Structure 1
């Protein structure tokens, strides 16, 4: 299953990219929007890392840890999507009013 490590690496690279991009932004609302994208990437990373660990070890302990990682990853990505939708609307509203 080579696809899971590829997704994991891409997700962590995107997370690092968005976190570094925050340093170059001046407006707080754009920083929040970029941070929401970073949360989504982190959630995807944690989710697929949990799946990969279970498939690699296939033990009951790995299953338990994998389930915990899956839940944390889903919660992180879901919260990131929620923030992204909110701040995307705020950015669109601020562009319209200017």
Structure 2
């Protein structure tokens, strides 16, 4: 189906976007938070690819591969959600500390 192809491409684009953000940041908590988000995106890519494989199975091997891809994708999504929830408060504190330091720096230079 065309909807699964769209979802596959969409989740792959989000994975690439989060990985680019991951490599551009220097803050450790934000890196781990973005890694969790990219894990969710990659897991959804694999999950939707597995569902797409099961839509028109060509053989028993395709069915087994589709089921394995769905399980791996769900596992990656689950691990990514756990990491996202765990590192979100640390990333918020880190971002607030950086913002506060920038504000102090602006007031000192002016």
- Give TM-score scaled by structure 1 length: 0.90
Match of 1:27 in 2: 27
Q: Structure 1: where are the runs of 5+ without partners?
A: none
Residues 49-91 of structure 1: per-residue CA shift (max 9 Å, x gap):
0110121334221110000000000000000000000001222
Q: Structure 2: where are the runs of 5+ without partners?
A: 99-110
Bigger Cα Rg? 2
1: CA distance, partners of 2:97 / 2:7: 39
Task: Give the RMSD, CA atoms, in angstroms.
Answer: 1.7
Where 2:30 maps in the other structure, the secondary structure is: helix
Q: Against the structure 1 CA distance between its residues 16 and 96, is the aligned structure 2 distance closer, same or farther, given a 3 Å change threshold? A: closer
1: CA distance, partners of 2:95 / 2:25: 16
Deviation at 1:35, TM superposition (A): 0.7
Runs of 4+ in 1 over 4 A off after TM superposition: 93-98
Figure out how many residues of one structure are paired with residues of the other and give that number.
98
Which one is further off, 73-82 or 21-30? 21-30
1: CA distance, partners of 2:65 / 2:15: 22
